Amino acid sequence: MTTVQFDPQIQNPQPNQPHSEPNASVGQNGITISLAVNDRDIADHLVITFAKKGAVACPEMLEETSTARLLYDLELKGQSVHEPSLMGIAGENGEARRVFVTPCPGDNFRDYAVWVGLVTETVSNLKVRKVALYPCPGALSDENSFELTSQLVRALIEANAANEVALIVGRYNYNKLLNMALELKSELKTPTTSIHVIH
Protein backbone atom coordinates (compact mmCIF):
# COMPACT_ATOMS: atom_id res chain seq x y z
CA MET A 1 0.00 0.00 0.00
CA THR A 2 1.16 3.51 -0.70
CA THR A 3 1.99 5.49 2.42
CA VAL A 4 1.36 9.07 1.38
CA GLN A 5 0.42 11.60 4.07
CA PHE A 6 -3.06 11.18 5.55
CA ASP A 7 -5.20 14.23 6.21
CA PRO A 8 -3.01 16.42 8.48
CA GLN A 9 -5.62 16.38 11.24
CA ILE A 10 -5.54 12.61 11.48
CA GLN A 11 -2.04 11.91 10.26
CA ASN A 12 -0.14 9.07 11.85
CA PRO A 13 3.57 8.99 10.89
CA GLN A 14 4.48 5.86 8.95
CA PRO A 15 7.54 4.40 7.30
CA ASN A 16 8.20 5.71 3.80
CA GLN A 17 8.24 2.26 2.20
CA PRO A 18 5.34 -0.17 2.34
CA HIS A 19 6.10 -3.57 3.79
CA SER A 20 4.40 -6.86 3.26
CA GLU A 21 5.11 -10.29 4.53
CA PRO A 22 7.17 -12.60 2.32
CA ASN A 23 5.13 -14.40 -0.34
CA ALA A 24 2.19 -12.01 0.10
CA SER A 25 0.70 -12.65 -3.32
CA VAL A 26 -2.94 -13.48 -2.87
CA GLY A 27 -4.25 -16.72 -4.36
CA GLN A 28 -7.83 -17.71 -5.07
CA ASN A 29 -8.48 -18.48 -1.41
CA GLY A 30 -6.37 -15.60 -0.14
CA ILE A 31 -7.48 -12.93 2.30
CA THR A 32 -5.58 -9.66 2.64
CA ILE A 33 -5.62 -7.56 5.80
CA SER A 34 -3.91 -4.20 5.35
CA LEU A 35 -3.36 -0.95 7.23
CA ALA A 36 -4.66 2.14 5.43
CA VAL A 37 -3.24 5.60 6.06
CA ASN A 38 -4.91 7.72 3.36
CA ASP A 39 -7.84 7.97 0.96
CA ARG A 40 -5.95 6.22 -1.84
CA ASP A 41 -5.55 3.09 0.26
CA ILE A 42 -9.34 2.76 0.56
CA ALA A 43 -10.51 4.30 -2.73
CA ASP A 44 -12.37 1.19 -3.91
CA HIS A 45 -13.43 -0.10 -0.47
CA LEU A 46 -16.74 0.12 1.34
CA VAL A 47 -15.86 2.22 4.40
CA ILE A 48 -17.58 1.09 7.60
CA THR A 49 -17.60 3.31 10.66
CA PHE A 50 -19.45 4.16 13.82
CA ALA A 51 -19.04 7.18 16.05
CA LYS A 52 -20.40 8.63 19.26
CA LYS A 53 -23.73 10.47 19.10
CA GLY A 54 -23.34 14.01 17.92
CA ALA A 55 -24.05 16.65 15.33
CA VAL A 56 -22.97 15.38 11.90
CA ALA A 57 -26.04 14.40 9.85
CA CYS A 58 -26.34 12.49 6.57
CA PRO A 59 -26.68 15.61 4.35
CA GLU A 60 -23.35 16.92 5.68
CA MET A 61 -21.71 13.55 5.14
CA LEU A 62 -22.85 13.51 1.53
CA GLU A 63 -21.20 16.88 0.88
CA GLU A 64 -17.74 15.76 2.03
CA THR A 65 -15.33 14.82 -0.78
CA SER A 66 -12.55 13.41 1.40
CA THR A 67 -13.16 10.17 3.29
CA ALA A 68 -10.36 11.12 5.72
CA ARG A 69 -12.01 14.46 6.53
CA LEU A 70 -15.43 12.82 6.88
CA LEU A 71 -14.04 10.29 9.37
CA TYR A 72 -12.29 13.08 11.25
CA ASP A 73 -15.54 15.10 11.48
CA LEU A 74 -17.41 12.05 12.75
CA GLU A 75 -14.68 11.40 15.30
CA LEU A 76 -14.59 15.02 16.49
CA LYS A 77 -18.31 15.95 16.41
CA GLY A 78 -20.11 12.61 16.52
CA GLN A 79 -22.94 11.58 14.19
CA SER A 80 -26.71 11.84 14.33
CA VAL A 81 -27.47 8.60 12.46
CA HIS A 82 -30.12 6.54 14.29
CA GLU A 83 -30.38 3.75 11.73
CA PRO A 84 -27.52 2.24 9.71
CA SER A 85 -27.03 4.38 6.59
CA LEU A 86 -25.27 3.48 3.37
CA MET A 87 -24.32 6.55 1.39
CA GLY A 88 -22.42 7.35 -1.76
CA ILE A 89 -20.06 10.30 -1.68
CA ALA A 90 -18.11 11.79 -4.57
CA GLY A 91 -14.37 12.00 -4.03
CA GLU A 92 -12.29 15.04 -4.91
CA ASN A 93 -11.48 13.47 -8.30
CA GLY A 94 -15.13 12.65 -8.94
CA GLU A 95 -14.82 8.97 -8.08
CA ALA A 96 -17.74 7.41 -6.24
CA ARG A 97 -17.16 6.10 -2.72
CA ARG A 98 -19.47 4.22 -0.42
CA VAL A 99 -19.57 4.83 3.31
CA PHE A 100 -21.66 2.75 5.73
CA VAL A 101 -22.29 4.68 8.95
CA THR A 102 -23.93 2.86 11.85
CA PRO A 103 -24.91 3.96 15.33
CA CYS A 104 -22.34 3.05 17.95
CA PRO A 105 -23.23 -0.33 19.48
CA GLY A 106 -23.81 -0.55 23.20
CA ASP A 107 -20.76 -1.40 25.26
CA ASN A 108 -21.63 -5.04 25.91
CA PHE A 109 -21.22 -8.45 24.31
CA ARG A 110 -24.85 -8.78 23.18
CA ASP A 111 -24.86 -5.42 21.36
CA TYR A 112 -21.49 -6.25 19.79
CA ALA A 113 -22.91 -9.52 18.42
CA VAL A 114 -25.98 -7.77 16.97
CA TRP A 115 -23.83 -5.05 15.37
CA VAL A 116 -21.36 -7.54 13.89
CA GLY A 117 -24.25 -9.60 12.48
CA LEU A 118 -25.89 -6.53 10.92
CA VAL A 119 -22.70 -5.28 9.29
CA THR A 120 -21.69 -8.75 8.06
CA GLU A 121 -25.13 -9.27 6.50
CA THR A 122 -24.99 -5.84 4.83
CA VAL A 123 -21.54 -6.48 3.37
CA SER A 124 -22.62 -9.93 2.16
CA ASN A 125 -25.70 -8.48 0.45
CA LEU A 126 -23.68 -5.71 -1.22
CA LYS A 127 -21.10 -8.22 -2.53
CA VAL A 128 -18.36 -5.59 -2.28
CA ARG A 129 -15.40 -7.90 -1.37
CA LYS A 130 -13.28 -4.94 -0.15
CA VAL A 131 -14.05 -3.21 3.15
CA ALA A 132 -12.25 -0.61 5.26
CA LEU A 133 -13.02 -0.33 8.98
CA TYR A 134 -12.77 2.73 11.22
CA PRO A 135 -14.59 2.75 14.57
CA CYS A 136 -14.06 6.41 15.47
CA PRO A 137 -11.97 6.92 18.62
CA GLY A 138 -14.01 8.09 21.58
CA ALA A 139 -17.11 6.07 20.72
CA LEU A 140 -15.84 3.16 22.83
CA SER A 141 -12.60 2.65 24.69
CA ASP A 142 -9.73 1.71 22.38
CA GLU A 143 -9.67 -1.78 23.87
CA ASN A 144 -13.37 -2.29 23.14
CA SER A 145 -13.10 -0.71 19.67
CA PHE A 146 -10.29 -3.11 18.81
CA GLU A 147 -12.27 -6.06 20.18
CA LEU A 148 -15.35 -5.11 18.16
CA THR A 149 -13.28 -4.54 15.01
CA SER A 150 -11.54 -7.87 15.51
CA GLN A 151 -14.92 -9.62 15.88
CA LEU A 152 -16.16 -8.00 12.67
CA VAL A 153 -13.08 -9.02 10.67
CA ARG A 154 -13.49 -12.60 11.89
CA ALA A 155 -17.18 -12.60 10.94
CA LEU A 156 -16.54 -11.14 7.48
CA ILE A 157 -13.86 -13.72 6.72
CA GLU A 158 -15.81 -16.66 8.17
CA ALA A 159 -18.90 -15.64 6.16
CA ASN A 160 -16.77 -15.23 3.02
CA ALA A 161 -18.16 -11.69 2.78
CA ALA A 162 -14.83 -9.99 2.01
CA ASN A 163 -11.40 -10.95 0.77
CA GLU A 164 -9.72 -7.59 1.40
CA VAL A 165 -10.04 -5.83 4.75
CA ALA A 166 -8.29 -2.54 5.49
CA LEU A 167 -7.93 -1.20 9.02
CA ILE A 168 -7.86 2.61 8.86
CA VAL A 169 -5.13 3.96 11.11
CA GLY A 170 -6.37 7.53 11.70
CA ARG A 171 -5.67 8.37 15.35
CA TYR A 172 -5.18 4.76 16.38
CA ASN A 173 -1.79 3.34 17.26
CA TYR A 174 -0.27 1.86 14.10
CA ASN A 175 1.57 -0.90 15.98
CA LYS A 176 -1.55 -1.95 17.91
CA LEU A 177 -3.51 -2.29 14.67
CA LEU A 178 -0.65 -4.23 13.09
CA ASN A 179 -0.59 -6.58 16.09
CA MET A 180 -4.35 -7.07 15.74
CA ALA A 181 -3.94 -7.93 12.05
CA LEU A 182 -1.16 -10.43 12.81
CA GLU A 183 -3.23 -12.05 15.57
CA LEU A 184 -6.19 -12.38 13.19
CA LYS A 185 -3.91 -13.97 10.61
CA SER A 186 -2.70 -16.50 13.15
CA GLU A 187 -6.23 -17.33 14.35
CA LEU A 188 -8.01 -17.49 11.01
CA LYS A 189 -5.48 -19.17 8.75
CA THR A 190 -6.62 -22.63 7.62
CA PRO A 191 -5.27 -25.21 5.18
CA THR A 192 -7.63 -23.83 2.51
CA THR A 193 -7.39 -20.11 3.36
CA SER A 194 -4.22 -18.06 3.30
CA ILE A 195 -4.24 -14.72 5.09
CA HIS A 196 -1.69 -12.04 4.26
CA VAL A 197 -0.98 -8.91 6.27
CA ILE A 198 0.26 -5.91 4.28
CA HIS A 199 1.55 -2.85 6.11
- Tens of pLDDT, residue by residue over 143-181, are 999 999 999 999 999 999 999 999 999 989 899 999 999
Global pTM reads 0.82
Give the range among 53-57, 158-162, 192-196 with minimum mean pLDDT: 192-196
Contact, 112 vs 141, CB < 8 A?
Answer: no
Looking at residue 155, which CATH number applies to its domain?
A: 3.40.220.10
CA–CA separation, 65 and 39 (whole Å): 10
What mean pLDDT do residues 186-195 have? 85
Q: Tell me whether strands 30-36 and 194-198 are parallel, antiparallel or unpaired.
A: parallel
Per-chain mean pLDDT for the chain: 83
CB-based contacts of 130, cutoff 8 Å, min separation 6: 44, 45, 46, 162, 163, 164, 165, 166
How many domains is the chain partitioned into structurally? 1
Quick check: is 11 in a domain?
Answer: no
164 within domain boundaries: yes
Residue 2 belongs to some domain of the structure: no
**Confidence label for 29 from pLDDT (cuts 50, 70 and 90):** low
- Residue 8 within any structural domain of the chain: no
Residue 140 lies in a domain: yes
Question: Quick check: is 179 in a domain?
Answer: yes
Domain membership of residue 114 as a residue range: 17-198
